[in-house]
Chains A and B, each alone.
Chain A
């Protein structure tokens, strides 16, 4: 019995330079390919929803499109205030990508969010935005001075806590999704084992045949998937966006 929970597959490797540095080769991994698929799905859905918009007697698709826009508007403006209207598409992109990435694991694909690179990328972007807002609010010197409060001795801790923000965000999201992947892998393997042990008890060739088929893997993991994929997936997308909006709007208050 082999349980192998590994990282995303590498489909192609493009060599840029000789040598073995981090930047020497581009690996087109499962994360990237499924990420593109996710973008394709979201954009396709948007195009589908916004087809044939009318001012009156609107279609159900338009109702959904307008509801989505209103929802994200209310979310961003409610959390950040009217002056952050320009962040609406960014937060929408973050939420949509996170949500679809998390849920795409339901249809066989490996979630791009089960790769720390994805969350790290988002967290870095959010961290840059937070820092930009802080500098905008209190000036560059004021931003640097902020690390020495309340006393100069606290500076290393302040720097650490500043760093903890993006790392925490990335690891929280990644950890939740990865735990789903790991637990799902374990469950599938365990149920396959249980299935083979159970039907192996049957005598003769029938038992040998049935023991080869992981019958218990049908249906049973779906119940656990309800939590690890559906609930956790939606929740983590929501939490990531919530934290993004709150951190950015808090940063702008200095």
Chain B
């Protein structure tokens, strides 16, 4: 009996173990949605914002890095192109120099040989002239000698023209 009274008393200030109470139910529905809004405001919104911010930052950094890489690649290409151009130029200069040198040396050789030929020709001409001169001198000498001899032999005066003809005839006969 005492036990029963005790139970009855406690029940008066406690709800039944399993019972639906409309206001509690409504309160719990409201609580759930309020909790949802609170979570949205205090957890999801700030966290998503910071993640989005970080993502934007990372994206910006990546694009910057890509840009820098592209620039470096462009610089490298330019440098390589410049190097190539320089090399080509050097080759060209070398080739030109070689060609010039070859042409010069050829020309020099040619000039030298021409000069040599000219010198040779001149020497030959000189020799020829000297010889002719010598022959003429000999001729004159012989002529005057012959005239003297002849004058002495025939002891008479011959005119100048006959004289020369005679000498020439004589020399030709001697020369042949």
Chain A residues with a Cβ under 8 A of chain B: 2, 4-10, 22-23, 25-27, 29, 31-32, 35-36, 39, 42-43, 46-47, 49-50, 53-56, 62, 65-66, 68-69, 88-90, 92-94, 96-97, 112, 115-118, 120-122, 124-125, 174, 178
Contact = CB atoms under 8 A, between A and B. Distances in A.
Given A42-B38, A117-B24, A36 B43 contact: no
Interface string B2-46: 010011001101111111111111111101111111111011101
Interface of B: 3, 6-7, 10-11, 13-29, 31-40, 42-44, 46-51, 53-54, 57
Contacts of B23: 23, 25-27
A7 B16 contact: yes
A116 B19 contact: yes
A42 B22 CA distance: 25
A92 B43 contact: yes
A46 B45 CA distance: 11
Contact of B46 (A10, A50, A97): A50
Given A7-B16, A116-B19, A122 B32 contact: yes
A23 to B, nearest CB: 6
Contact of B14 (A10, A25, A53, A55): A10
Contacts of B18: 7, 116, 174, 178
Contacts of A5: 17
Contact of A55 (B3, B6, B13, B53): B53
Contact of B17 (A2, A7, A25): A7
B35 A96 contact: yes
Given A39-B38, A96-B39, A50 B27 contact: no
A182 B37 CA distance: 34
Contacts of B13: 9-10
A47 B41 CA distance: 9
Given A55-B53, A55-B57, A66-B51, A94 B44 contact: no
Contacts of B46: 50, 53, 65
A224 B6 CA distance: 29
A112 B53 CA distance: 38
B21 A89 contact: no
Given A6-B11, A7-B17, 17 more contacts: A7-B14, A23-B23, A31-B24, A39-B35, A50-B47, A53-B47, A53-B49, A65-B43, A92-B36, A93-B35, A93-B39, A96-B39, A97-B35, A118-B24, A118-B28, A124-B29, A125-B32
Contacts of A10: 13-15
B22 A121 contact: no
A180 to B, nearest CB: 13
A94 B3 CA distance: 40
A35 B44 contact: no
Contact of A94 (B16, B26, B32, B57): B32
